[in-house]
Amino acid sequence: MAWNPSPEVQVARDAAEAIRGVTKAEQIDMCIVTWIDNDSRAGYASYGRTPVLCGMARRVADVAYEAINDSEKFDAICHAVIRGDASATDGSGIDFDGLEAEVVGKLRLLKASLAAEMDKTTRKLIVRDLVLPAAELLARFCACVNVEEEVKP
């Protein structure tokens, strides 16, 4: 890549090197680091091994960043989950009602989108790129939360 001395790019460059070491990859072509601070501000840094890859990484990062910031509920979700160290460690700062409403609303939108008329190619793309990844995350969440009913003697 053309040398960029900014501290943010250095973070992405360092992350790419660390990931290369962990994965034993010969090289990492692109790396994007996103962050959210305790005031729910988001940012990113991108790195590409060559000038072309650097431009591609920047475009991907721009799209991801715009998607985060276009979410009407983004701030509410961040605040529901992260409300400072004191409340984050004991769970008292989590707005479960807000989180539940957001998840149920998104599930209903997903269900409605699959009920809509569309061609086979569009449906395959929606299922592959949206439904299956979302269902996998939801299944992983469900597998982590095990609630056992109290057995009465």
Check if the beta carbon of residue 61 is closer than 8 Å to that of residue 30: no
Whole-angstrom distance, CA of residue 80 vs CA of residue 82: 6
Domain enclosing residue 20, as ranges: 1-70
Evaluate whether residue 88 is within a structural domain: no
Count: domains in the chain: 1
Evaluate whether residue 112 is within a structural domain: no
Evaluate whether residue 39 is within a structural domain: yes
Question: Tens digit of pLDDT for each residue in 75-129?
Answer: 555 655 554 444 555 666 677 887 788 888 888 888 888 888 888 888 888 888 8
Please spell the DSSP secondary structure of the chain, one letter per residue. Answer: ------HHHHHHHHHHHHHHHHHT-S--SEEEEEEE-TTS-EEEEEEESSHHHHHHHHHHHHHHHHHHHH-TTHHHHHHHH-SHHHHHHHSTT--HHHHHHHHHHHHHHHHHHHHS---HHHHHHHIIIIIHHHHHHHHHHHHH----PPPP-
- pTM confidence score: 0.46
Whole-angstrom distance, CA of residue 47 vs CA of residue 15: 9
Evaluate whether residue 65 is within a structural domain: yes
Evaluate whether residue 11 is within a structural domain: yes
**Whether residue 22 has pLDDT greater than 90:** yes
Evaluate whether residue 9 is within a structural domain: yes
